[in-house]
Structure 1
Amino acid sequence: MTMRRSSALAAALGLPLLLAACGTGGSGAQSSTEELPAGQKVEGEITFWHAYSEGGPEVTTLEEEVIPAFEKAHPGTEVKPVTVQYDQLHQKLVTAAAGESLPDVVRSDIIWVPELADLGVLVPLDQAMPDFEKLAEQTYDGPLATNKWQDSYYGLPLTTNTKVMLYNEQALDEAGVGVPETFDDLRASAPKVAETGNYLLAEADAAGWQVLPYIWSNGGDITDEDITTSDGYLNGPKSVEAVELLVDLYEQQALPKLILGGGGGTNTFEGLANGMYATIVDGPWAFPIIEGQFKDFEMKTAPMPHGDGESTSVVGGENLVITQASENKQLAAEFTRYMLSEEAQLAMAEAGQISVLESLSDKMVEIEPSYEEYMNQLQTARPRPPTPAWTKIDEIIRKQVQLAVRGDMTAQEAMDEAVAQIDPLLERG
């Protein structure tokens, strides 16, 4: 465990255990905390909401292997999985929270945890589970950090991912350039690839998921460490330089219009496979999709290019949270523990989910060799700022970066305006 994570956990875990006490979420909602010990016999049923793809290998593995194994090890229990489409799950959770009709356990996108915690509808697991620290120590720093809101951890990592550079070697060779390792390489290679009629790099959007790796890899940041202000960070020199890189690549016709959103154009996977895009930056799910559609294309991987900082990508994935509405929190906690076991993590890894357990890093590569670069990148990957306002902040970043790319503002002006809109949101958080 790193010094930073040890300190953060110590601060959170140093709080007294609250037994049947009450706390207040950021919205003023009341939340109780009860002790959820491990290993005691528990019976009953719980409901588990998730957004695994309907009919996909994840759902099959979950419903035919993982849940039956848990129920067999815990006689008298039943876990009822409910599949909700990802683009509907966030709204369903917020709506259910208002009506107090939440399930027992949720596989939540990592960016939703602070928002749900702020609503007061999640159990603070570091206070409720005596073995929380032991479980947390087994996971990667980045995924774990996405569960913290204010002074508590409201979930545990379930699956993780990050993004690396994916490249078409033939397209790079045609332009006479190598795999870009630095921002200087990107700038130098851009006109050479453009001369071949192709694009050096394609990004499908300009939101935080796309832009943050460039900012971090240049030594910039979005907010201060306490997530109280973005002034001097998002509009600081290193962050602005990263946005200017994207602006320059676009002006050099090395970056397609996909970054401006609105649909249209060749998607990143197709463009990479046919050589139109020499490189893209994307996650491990790209492999089964591209291999299935473009069987003659051999995709290769490289770390995220960097500027003045080290190569740093963004953490994606999902967390497990337990709701205050659960009438069987002890069983919900036992199910959460099981989902973090090597048995369950390996089963889901076989279905395409990268494990959050550091001890299984080598196993991930054995299961899927294409994971190797992702496992390396996870060592430095960072989470998006954990704040209830992130979805609004994300849209502001997207809009302002796109204004800069279109040339409607300079990168500095765009980031200054972003800060002016973001800081009031952070003050309310």
Structure 2
Amino acid sequence: MRHLRSATTVVALVAAGALLAGCSGGGSPSASDDAVTLTFWGTYGNGGNSAQTDELENELIPAFEKENPGITVEYVDMPYDGLKQKLTTSAAGGELPDLIRSDIGWVAQFAKLGVFKQLDGTMPGFEDLADAVYPGTLETTSWNGHYYGIPLNTNTRVLVTDAATLQKAGLSAPPATFDDLEKLAAGLDGSGTFAFADSGLSAWNVMPWIWSAGGDIADADLTTSTGYLDSPESVAGVQLLVDLYQKGQIPNLITGNTGATGTSDGLPGGLYASILDGPWMQDIWAGQYPDFAPAYSPMPSGDGGSISVVGGESLVVTESTAHADAAYKFLEFSQSETFQLGMARAGQMSVKPEFAQKQADLVPYFATFSDQLETARARLPIPQAGEVDTILNDELVPAFEGKVTVADALTAAAKKIDALLADNG
């Protein structure tokens, strides 16, 4: 099994001991070991996406139940914004389900609280399942040296461009390197089109540039950020963006100007030549800009290569489940070709490289994203990931505005992240 970074922290949602004292999971144990009902909470219908809920409820759950007589799965769909709050209050009140489709950013937080079950060393065959997924997706399920979920679906960010806008800059292909992005900016100087746009300075936004430049946010054991986030390589990755911003080639959308044109409108409108975004944009543009033909290409490479960031959801088992063995069977089923390609047809990317080609046959534009996932990495798998985003934004905005150097901004951010990492354990 791959060795991944560990993470710990203190999270003050509720006292960990109180959380689990009365938890009863998916109800009391069944009277018969042969009749089990698993309750599964998720957000497949978020935003009115009926295709995913239809696939799950009408095809995949029935297929699982046919393969596993005696196990019934009751799926409960919730609004995405409400699931975390429901999970928090239900854990405190002892009313947890057996299975949860969890945002990857929640895994460490609830693992720390003792809500999610540790899978390595507990679930039979977990190591084989873990070895079969993209490395970056597995890292999102880790906390404190152990694993608390299995990647369920994934995504990443790639460069998205428009051929007509590139031609305006004299380019026949999307920027493949940092140098190419600077050439794009030079070709657009004075044209009224920005070379690149993004909507913030969180880890989701800046880590692809830092990793691709050869930098990092912390050491492999998650003990320190100093020496990594403020390394010359990390500074170079952010400096590229700052230089383009100060040359007028990145709009102030990146520093939080809510009045600036969003990337989803600015790219098809010809205002932005390139953005980083995910596979979900294809359907959005098809509905809003039917004549727009986005071109997908890898994250521009620097000295560290072409490395982007992992998104998605994980499937977790709650610590309080009365039906762990049945829940493990559903986790195993979630990694099958039936489940992974069924959800690919409904718009969710597979977490397994072995299905990449079959997935691309079903959804051709997924191919570039699958290639990027081979090197994509996870953000810090710690409970205070939201605080990391706040730190990065707060320290980097002044650097873009020319008030401090990039090196000083990253040094300050590293010291604050050091304090979070010191809370691990």
TM-score, length of structure 2 as denominator length: 0.90
Contact (CA 8 Å) 1:42, 1:331: kept in 2 or not?
A: no
Is 1:148 aligned to 2:142, yes or no?
yes
Contact (CA 8 Å) 2:4, 2:142: kept in 1 or not?
A: no
What SS is found at the alignment partner of 2:59?
A: helix
Contact (CA 8 Å) 1:31, 1:122: kept in 2 or not?
A: no
User: In the aligned structure 2, how far is the partner of 1:415 from the partner of 1:97?
Assistant: 37
Which residue among 160, 166, 178 is the counterpart of 2:160? 166
Other-structure match for 2:39: 47
Is 1:313 aligned to 2:308, yes or no?
yes
Deviation at 1:92, TM superposition (A): 2.8
Which residue among 67, 78, 83 is the counterpart of 2:72? 78
- Higher RCO, 1 vs 2 (CA within 8 Å, ≥6 residues apart): 2
What SS is found at the alignment partner of 2:121?
A: helix
Instruction: Note the 1:17-416 alignment, pairs <5 A.
Output: 29=17, 42-54=34-46, 55-56=48-49, 57-177=51-171, 178-416=173-411
Contact (CA 8 Å) 1:105, 1:320: kept in 2 or not?
A: yes
Taking only aligned residues, the RMSD between alpha carbons, in angstroms, comes to 2.2
User: In the aligned structure 1, how far is the partner of 2:100 from the partner of 2:16?
Assistant: 22
Contact (CA 8 Å) 2:45, 2:52: kept in 1 or not?
A: yes
Contact (CA 8 Å) 2:40, 2:73: kept in 1 or not?
A: yes
Deviation at 1:269, TM superposition (A): 1.7
Task: List structure 1 segments (4+ residues) > 6 angstroms apart after TM superposition.
Answer: none
User: In the aligned structure 2, how far is the partner of 1:404 from the partner of 1:90?
Assistant: 34
Contact (CA 8 Å) 2:157, 2:369: kept in 1 or not?
A: yes
User: In the aligned structure 1, how far is the partner of 2:364 from the partner of 2:305?
Assistant: 24
User: In the aligned structure 2, how far is the partner of 1:44 from the partner of 1:102?
Assistant: 16
> Compared with structure 1, are the counterparts of its residues 324 and 381 closer, same or farther at alpha carbon in structure 2 (3 Å cutoff)?
same
What SS is found at the alignment partner of 1:369?
A: coil
User: In the aligned structure 2, how far is the partner of 1:261 from the partner of 1:82?
Assistant: 36
> Compared with structure 1, are the counterparts of its residues 60 and 28 closer, same or farther at alpha carbon in structure 2 (3 Å cutoff)?
closer
Contact (CA 8 Å) 2:177, 2:302: kept in 1 or not?
A: yes
Deviation at 1:295, TM superposition (A): 1.2
Letter in 1 for 2:372: Q
User: In the aligned structure 1, how far is the partner of 2:16 from the partner of 2:280?
Assistant: 39
Give 5+ residue unaligned stretches, structure 1: 12-24, 33-40
Q: Deviations over 1:67-126 (max 9, x none)?
A: 122223333332222222222323332333333322211111112111111111111111
User: In the aligned structure 2, how far is the partner of 1:249 from the partner of 1:218?
Assistant: 16
User: In the aligned structure 1, how far is the partner of 2:399 from the partner of 2:4?
Assistant: 36
Deviation at 1:7, TM superposition (A): 4.6
What SS is found at the alignment partner of 2:267?
A: helix
User: In the aligned structure 2, how far is the partner of 1:88 from the partner of 1:264?
Assistant: 27
User: In the aligned structure 1, how far is the partner of 2:84 from the partner of 2:255?
Assistant: 25
What SS is found at the alignment partner of 1:49?
A: strand
User: In the aligned structure 1, how far is the partner of 2:290 from the partner of 2:315?
Assistant: 35
User: In the aligned structure 2, how far is the partner of 1:400 from the partner of 1:81?
Assistant: 42
User: In the aligned structure 2, how far is the partner of 1:281 from the partner of 1:52?
Assistant: 24
Q: Deviations over 1:337-372 (max 9, x none)?
A: 111111111111100111112211101110111011
User: In the aligned structure 2, how far is the partner of 1:192 from the partner of 1:303?
Assistant: 21
Contact (CA 8 Å) 1:389, 1:426: kept in 2 or not?
A: no
Contact (CA 8 Å) 1:219, 1:307: kept in 2 or not?
A: yes
Deviation at 1:42, TM superposition (A): 4.5
What SS is found at the alignment partner of 2:133?
A: coil
Deviation at 1:375, TM superposition (A): 1.1
User: In the aligned structure 2, how far is the partner of 1:104 from the partner of 1:183?
Assistant: 46
Letter in 1 for 2:99: V
User: In the aligned structure 1, how far is the partner of 2:244 from the partner of 2:85?
Assistant: 36
Deviation at 1:377, TM superposition (A): 0.7
What SS is found at the alignment partner of 2:211?
A: helix
What SS is found at the alignment partner of 1:202?
A: coil
Q: Deviations over 1:18-66 (max 9, x none)?
A: xxxxxxx99764989xxxxxxxx75221221112234311112112211
TM-score, length of structure 1 as denominator length: 0.89
Letter in 2 for 1:76: G
User: In the aligned structure 1, how far is the partner of 2:186 from the partner of 2:83?
Assistant: 43
Select between 414-423 and 276-285 the one with higher mean Cα deviation: 414-423
Give 5+ residue unaligned stretches, structure 2: 22-32
> Compared with structure 1, are the counterparts of its residues 8 and 167 closer, same or farther at alpha carbon in structure 2 (3 Å cutoff)?
closer
User: In the aligned structure 1, how far is the partner of 2:420 from the partner of 2:311?
Assistant: 23
Deviation at 1:278, TM superposition (A): 0.7
Q: Deviations over 1:303-332 (max 9, x none)?
A: 101221100001111111100122222222
> Compared with structure 1, are the counterparts of its residues 309 and 349 closer, same or farther at alpha carbon in structure 2 (3 Å cutoff)?
same
Deviation at 1:427, TM superposition (A): 0.4
Letter in 1 for 2:41: W
Other-structure match for 1:16: none
Between the aligned residues of both structures, percent identity stands at: 43
Other-structure match for 1:423: 418
